[in-house]
Chains A and B, each alone.
Chain A
Amino acid sequence: MVLRSWTRAIGLVFATLFSFLGLKSANAQVEDFVKSSNESDAPRIVQNCYFPGEYARVSTRNTDLNVRQTPGGRIVGSIPRGWEVLVRETDRSGRWVFVTSHYGSGSVYFGSAPNFNEGWVSADYLTFLGSYCDKPSMGGRPMNNKGMSPKPFYFMESQLETQVEPQRFSVYEDWTNLGDRISKSLDD
C-alpha cells in the first residue's frame, strides 16, 4: 500500500514537472528561424527541441484516449488527456494516427500514464502541435519503479483448474527498491 502511494506520489511529481519545468524551458529555447533554402539572406539555422519530430496533444474531453493495435483495432493502452505524443504515421484514411512517446513504449513506464502504449489512436482526439516545439519533456524522468519489467505480468488464471484471483507480478525489481520494501517490515 505504501509502495503504491509512493508510486502515485512520484507520478504526480513527474506530471508537475511535465507541466511546468520541461515545457517552459523547452519552449524558451525554440527560435523560429526556419526558412527555405532558396532565401539566402536570412539565418539558416533554427534551434529545435531535444527530440525532433511531429507532436500532438491528446484532446479528449474527460477520458483517456484509447490506443489500438491497428487502426480501429484491439485496444492495447490509453493515454491521458493533455498528454503530448510523438506522431509517427497516419493511415491512408487520415483518421488514424500512430503515436508513441519520445522514449518509445517498450521500456518506459510513465508514473502518470500507467497504461501508455504506442499504437494507433483516432486523429479526432489529437491537436497537432507541429514540429520541433511543444513536446514531452526530459524534465520528467520516465519512471520504472520495479526495474526491468515496467508493466507487471499476470498469471493466466484461466488456465489454472483451481479458483484464484488474478495476480500481477514484476521481476528484476530494482535492488534499492527491494531493500526499501523489505525495510518496511521494520516499521511494524
Chain B
Amino acid sequence: MLISKIHKVLAIAARVPGNRQRFLDAGLLETKTGQLVEHWREKFPNLQPIDKAEIRNSPGLFLANASDVVYRGTTSGSRGQVLTYFAGEEWNRLRVAARMRSLRWWGIDDSIPIVNVASRLQPIRSVDVTLAGEIDEGFLTRLLEVLSVRPAVVRGYPSRLCEVASRLYGKSLPTVLGVIVTGEGWFEFQKSLLERVFDAPFIDEYGCQETGISGLTCPEANRLHLDSDRCLYEVIDGQLVTTDLYNFTMPMVRYCCGDVVELEETPCSCGRKGLTATVCGRVEDTIETSRGRVFSGNVKLPPFPGILNYQVIRRETSIDLILKEVVEKWSDRNLEPLDNWIRHTFGNLEIRYFGKPPSPPEVPPREVLSEKDWISQLTSGSWGDLFDRSLPQGNIAAAAKLLKQAIDPSIISGSGISEATRNLAIAVSQTPTTGNPDIDRTIGRILLFANTVLGGDELLCDRAVEILREAEGDRFSDPTQFDLYLLSLYQKTEKLQSILDYRPCQIDRFNIHHSLYGFEGAIATARNRNSPLTKSLNPLLAIFIADLNFFASRFHTAILASWRELIWNREIWEISRITDADSFLTAWLHLRRAFWKNRKTPEILEAALTKLRETAKTPQEQAKAILETGYVNLLLEKQLDSEFWLTTAMQQSQNLDRTLEKGEFDPLPWSPILRNIAQGFLNGGKPELAYQCLLASAPPSSRVSAFERLAKHCNRKQSPIFEIRDR
C-alpha cells in the first residue's frame, strides 16, 4: 500500500521540471522516456533531498497540476521569506481528518474550542478563535472572557504562551482543558509554568504544513506520534526528510524541513502504531556548551524557584540571562541555582543578568474626532485613517466601537464574529434613538453593517429599519437604500424588495465598505445553494468586487438587483422597466441575467456579449467588455488561451481601473480567468507563469485581512535559548 502511494507521487513528481535533474542523478528516470525506472525502489535512497530555499527560488518548477488547487498555504516566514504552496482536495481532506483524529486522543472533539493565543495561528474550525496582538491588560481580559464562555483548549507558541502565563500567574482562571504548544521547541521550565498556570495537560503539536507533516503527543506516554499515513518519514544526517504522499498538485519529495529529530526505536506504550519522535530543534540552531556544540533543543532549561520565565543568550565569552518574569524579590540568593546551572551547562563564563524588558514606547494617540467629523469621514473619507484614530465620544461611541470591532476585530473567530461583538450589536440595537437624524442614521446603518457581518439577524435588521425610518422618514436616501437592499443578497427578506426603486443611486464610502462584507455573505449563500456559478466563475467574490469598482461612480440600484439574481438564480425584476440607465449598463444587465438564466445557451450569451461590446465607448467600458468576454468563456467551459488572456489582462488592467499606478496590475477582476489559464501555461511548458497565475488568483477574504492585521505585529517566535556569535 505504502509502496504504491510512493510510486504514485514519484511518478507525478518526476514530470515536474524542478525535480528532473535530481531524479536523473539518482537514476530514478529512464533517460529516453523520462518515466520512472522499473527498479525505482532501489534508486530512491540516492535521491538528493531538497529544501525550502531551493523550492522558493523557482516554486513554479515544482507545480504538477494547476487545476486541483483547493489548499493554498504559506509558510510562516520566521526564517526568511515565505513560500506559497498549493495542494489539492484529497490532501486537504486527509489533513483535516488527521488533525481531528489526533485531537480526539485528548477528548478534544468539534464542540471544544481551541483558543490560539498571541501566535500567528488561524482558527481552523468554526468553534476556534484567535487572540493576537500586544499582551497587555486588554489582551488578558479578552482571553479570560473567551475562556469563561465555555471550557476550551489554549494553543500557541510556547514562548508566547509563557508570556501570557507569567502575567496570569497567581490568578484564578476558568477551566482550561489542555495547552497545545506548537511552532517552536519547548523547554522544561515552560512546560512547568504552563501546567501550573492553566492547570491543564500539556500537549505538544508538531507540524510542517508544506510537507504534510503533522504530529501530536499521546496522553498515555507523552510521546510525539507522527502521522505516518500521509507522509513517508526518513532521517538523513539527523534531519527529518519527508515525502508527502498526497500532494499531487505541488509534490514534495524528499523535502528537508530543517528540523533535527530523533526517531524512537521502540513502539509507544500507548499502543498506537506508527512512528514516534523527539524534535531537537532547527538544524541551524546549535549552541556551544561544556559538552561541546549541541542543538539548542537538547539543552535542558529547568524551572527555577521564583523565576517564571527566562531566556538564555550564549555569547562567545559570556552568558546573558534575561529574567523575564519573577515572583520573588531578586537577590543573590535566588540567583544562585541559576549561576550553578549555567556553570554546569556552559562552563565558567561571565554571567550577565538582565531584567524584564521595558514595554515598547507608546505611540501618542491621534486626535479624537468630534461626532460630526467622525460621521462625515465615515461616509466620505478614508476608513484606514478613521479607524487608526481613537473612537469618538458621545452618543455615537457604542456604535463606533461596534463598527471598529466588526472590521478590525481583536478576536478572530472561526465562525465569523466573536460573542463580544454580537453582544455589543444587541446592546446598540436596544439603545433609544437620540433624536439627532445624522447620529441616528449612522447608528442605523452601523446596525445594518453588523447584521451583515453577523450573517443576518432578523431582529437587528428590523430595529435598524426602525431607527432609519425615524431618521429619514419613509423615503430613504440613496446610501440607506443601498445598505438595506444589500442585505437581500444573503438574507431572505422579502419585504425589502418593495423598498427598492430602480434608479441611479449616489452611493457613499460606507456603502462600498459595507458591500465588501455583504458580498462575502452573498457568495456563501450562493455556495450553500450549490449555485453552479460559484464553480465556473471562481472566485465569484472577485467578480462582484470588480463590478463594484467599475460601477461605483455611476451606480444604479438595478446593479444590486442583478447581483441578487445571480446569487438566488431567480428573476426578480424586469429590465425593460429601467429607462434611466445608459446603454452600456443596460447591455451589461442583460448579459448578467444571461449568466445564470442562459448559461448553457451560447447563442444568447454571445448575443448579449456582442451588444455589450457595441455599447462600450470609453476605454474603461471596452476593458470591462473584454473582461466579461473572459467570464462568458468560463461559463461556457471553454479552455482559454493562456498567452492571450494573460497579455490582455495586463494590457487592460490600467484601463479598467485608472487609480492604478503605471506598472501596477490589479489581479482581482481577472482572478477567475488567471485561475483557468494556469493549467494552460503548465501544459505549455511555462510552469513559472502557471504558478504566478495561481498566486495572483488568490481568493479575496476579509478574514485573512483581519487576521493579518492583528497577527503581524506581535506574534513573533522567541526561542528561550540561542547563540550570538560575537564579531
Minimum CB–CB distance from A24 to chain B (whole Å) comes to 8
Tell me if B659 and A184 are in contact (CB < 8 A). Answer: yes
Tell me if A183 and B509 are in contact (CB < 8 A). Answer: yes
> Given the interface contacts A54-B724, A162-B647, does A172 sit within 8 Å of B698 by beta carbon?
yes
A124: CB under 8 A from chain B?
no
A106: CB under 8 A from chain B?
yes
Which residues of chain B have C-beta atoms less than 8 A from A185's C-beta? Answer: 549, 552-553, 659
Tell me if A181 and B650 are in contact (CB < 8 A). Answer: no
For B120, the closest partner residue in chain A by CB is: A107
Tell me if B79 and A106 are in contact (CB < 8 A). Answer: yes
Tell me if B667 and A171 are in contact (CB < 8 A). Answer: yes
**A53 CA / B307 CA spacing, docked (Å):** 22
Tell me if A183 and B552 are in contact (CB < 8 A). Answer: yes
**A168 CA / B509 CA spacing, docked (Å):** 27
| Chain-A contact segment, one of B27-35, B43-51, B381-389, B580-588 | B381-389
B363: CB under 8 A from chain A?
yes
Contact bitstring B322-363, A, C-beta under 8 A = 1, else 0: 110000001010010001000000000011111101111101
Minimum CB–CB distance from B190 to chain A (whole Å) comes to 18
Tell me if A182 and B358 are in contact (CB < 8 A). Answer: no
Minimum CB–CB distance from A96 to chain B (whole Å) comes to 11
Contact bitstring A82-105, B, C-beta under 8 A = 1, else 0: 000001111000100100000111
**A6 CA / B724 CA spacing, docked (Å):** 39
Tell me if A53 and B724 are in contact (CB < 8 A). Answer: yes
For A138, the closest partner residue in chain B by CB is: B360
Tell me if B361 and A52 are in contact (CB < 8 A). Answer: no
Tell me if A175 and B705 are in contact (CB < 8 A). Answer: yes
Contact of B698 among A123, A171, A175 (CB under 8 A): A171
Tell me if A156 and B80 are in contact (CB < 8 A). Answer: no
**A22 CA / B358 CA spacing, docked (Å):** 12
Minimum CB–CB distance from B479 to chain A (whole Å) comes to 11
Contact of B646 among A25, A89, A123, A160 (CB under 8 A): A160
Tell me if B650 and A167 are in contact (CB < 8 A). Answer: yes
Which residues of chain A have C-beta atoms less than 8 A from B361's C-beta? Answer: 21-22, 25-26, 137-139
Tell me if A182 and B351 are in contact (CB < 8 A). Answer: no
Tell me if B659 and A178 are in contact (CB < 8 A). Answer: no
Tell me if B727 and A97 are in contact (CB < 8 A). Answer: yes
Tell me if B80 and A180 are in contact (CB < 8 A). Answer: no
B367: CB under 8 A from chain A?
no
Which residues of chain A have C-beta atoms less than 8 A from B548's C-beta? Answer: 182
Tell me if B545 and A175 are in contact (CB < 8 A). Answer: no
| Chain-A contact segment, one of B460-468, B485-493, B706-714 | B706-714
Contact of B651 among A104, A118, A164 (CB under 8 A): A164
Q: Which of B283-335 contact A (CB under 8 A)?
A: 311, 313, 320, 322-323, 330, 332, 335
**A162 CA / B626 CA spacing, docked (Å):** 18
Which residues of chain B have C-beta atoms less than 8 A from A71's C-beta? Answer: none
B145: CB under 8 A from chain A?
no
Which residues of chain A have C-beta atoms less than 8 A from B323's C-beta? Answer: 45
> Given the interface contacts A45-B330, A52-B357, A184-B659, does A37 sit within 8 Å of B724 by beta carbon?
no
Q: Which of B68-127 contact A (CB under 8 A)?
A: 74, 76-82
Which residues of chain A have C-beta atoms less than 8 A from B78's C-beta? Answer: 104, 106
Q: Which of A101-120 contact B (CB under 8 A)?
A: 103-108, 118
**A162 CA / B404 CA spacing, docked (Å):** 46
Q: Which of B198-217 contact A (CB under 8 A)?
A: none
Tell me if B725 and A89 are in contact (CB < 8 A). Answer: yes
Minimum CB–CB distance from B57 to chain A (whole Å) comes to 10
**A47 CA / B355 CA spacing, docked (Å):** 5
For B697, the closest partner residue in chain A by CB is: A171
Contact of A107 among B77, B665, B688 (CB under 8 A): B77
Q: How many of chain A's residues have a CB under 8 angstroms from any CB in B?
A: 81
A61: CB under 8 A from chain B?
no
Tell me if A179 and B82 are in contact (CB < 8 A). Answer: no
Contact bitstring B529-566, A, C-beta under 8 A = 1, else 0: 00000000000000001001100110000000000000
Minimum CB–CB distance from B465 to chain A (whole Å) comes to 24
Q: How many of chain B's residues have a CB under 8 angstroms from any CB in A?
A: 84
**A75 CA / B322 CA spacing, docked (Å):** 36
Minimum CB–CB distance from A56 to chain B (whole Å) comes to 9
Minimum CB–CB distance from A181 to chain B (whole Å) comes to 6
B17: CB under 8 A from chain A?
no
**A141 CA / B644 CA spacing, docked (Å):** 42
> Given the interface contacts A162-B643, A171-B695, does A155 sit within 8 Å of B383 by beta carbon?
no
Contact of B513 among A40, A166, A179 (CB under 8 A): A179
Chain A CB count within 10 A is highest, among B82, B351, B665, B666, for B665
Tell me if B700 and A178 are in contact (CB < 8 A). Answer: yes
Tell me if A107 and B358 are in contact (CB < 8 A). Answer: no
Minimum CB–CB distance from A188 to chain B (whole Å) comes to 5
B653: CB under 8 A from chain A?
yes
Minimum CB–CB distance from B380 to chain A (whole Å) comes to 8
Which residues of chain A have C-beta atoms less than 8 A from B398's C-beta? Answer: none
B716: CB under 8 A from chain A?
yes
Contact of B351 among A37, A147, A162 (CB under 8 A): A37
Chain A CB count within 10 A is highest, among B79, B80, B548, for B80
Q: Which of B670-727 contact A (CB under 8 A)?
A: 686, 688-689, 692, 695-696, 698, 700-702, 704-706, 708-709, 712-713, 716, 724-727
Tell me if B727 and A87 are in contact (CB < 8 A). Answer: yes
Which residues of chain B have C-beta atoms less than 8 A from A127's C-beta? Answer: none
Tell me if B659 and A45 are in contact (CB < 8 A). Answer: no
For A183, the closest partner residue in chain B by CB is: B509
Tell me if B358 and A142 are in contact (CB < 8 A). Answer: no
B567: CB under 8 A from chain A?
no
Tell me if B357 and A44 are in contact (CB < 8 A). Answer: no
Tell me if A169 and B311 are in contact (CB < 8 A). Answer: no
> Given the interface contacts A175-B705, A179-B509, A180-B384, does A167 sit within 8 Å of B647 by beta carbon?
no
Which residues of chain A have C-beta atoms less than 8 A from B81's C-beta? Answer: 105-106
**A22 CA / B363 CA spacing, docked (Å):** 9
Contact of A46 among B355, B512, B646 (CB under 8 A): B355
Which residues of chain B have C-beta atoms less than 8 A from A12's C-beta? Answer: none
Chain B CB count within 10 A is highest, among A2, A36, A51, A183, for A183
Which residues of chain B have C-beta atoms less than 8 A from A164's C-beta? Answer: 647, 650-651
Q: Which of B598-653 contact A (CB under 8 A)?
A: 643-644, 646-647, 650-651, 653
For B508, the closest partner residue in chain A by CB is: A186
Which residues of chain B have C-beta atoms less than 8 A from A179's C-beta? Answer: 383, 509, 512-513, 516
Tell me if A156 and B689 are in contact (CB < 8 A). Answer: yes
For A177, the closest partner residue in chain B by CB is: B384
Tell me if A161 and B643 are in contact (CB < 8 A). Answer: yes
Q: Which of A48-89 contact B (CB under 8 A)?
A: 48-54, 87-89
Q: List 30 A-B residue pairs with CB atoms under 8 Å apart, sorted by A's residue number.
A: A4-B661, A21-B361, A22-B360, A34-B352, A35-B352, A37-B351, A37-B353, A40-B332, A48-B322, A48-B355, A50-B357, A52-B354, A90-B727, A106-B78, A137-B361, A138-B360, A141-B363, A147-B704, A147-B709, A155-B696, A166-B663, A167-B665, A169-B664, A169-B666, A172-B700, A176-B384, A177-B384, A178-B705, A183-B382, A185-B659
Closest 9 A/B residue pairs (Cβ): A106-B77, A138-B360, A167-B665, A25-B361, A175-B705, A179-B513, A37-B351, A171-B698, A162-B647
Inter-chain pairs besides A26-B361, A167-B663, 18 sampled, C-beta below 8 Å:
A2-B659, A22-B360, A44-B330, A50-B357, A105-B80, A137-B361, A142-B713, A155-B665, A156-B688, A159-B688, A160-B643, A164-B647, A164-B651, A169-B664, A172-B698, A174-B384, A177-B384, A179-B512
Which residues of chain B have a CB within 8 Å of any CB of chain A? 74, 76-82, 311, 313, 320, 322-323, 330, 332, 335, 339, 350-355, 357-361, 363-364, 382-384, 387, 407-408, 507-509, 512-513, 516, 545, 548-549, 552-553, 643-644, 646-647, 650-651, 653, 659, 661, 663-668, 686, 688-689, 692, 695-696, 698, 700-702, 704-706, 708-709, 712-713, 716, 724-727
Which residues of chain A have a CB within 8 Å of any CB of chain B? 1-4, 17, 21-22, 25-26, 29, 34-37, 40, 44-54, 87-90, 94, 97, 103-108, 118, 123, 128, 131-132, 137-139, 141-142, 144, 147-148, 153, 155-156, 159-162, 164-169, 171-186, 188
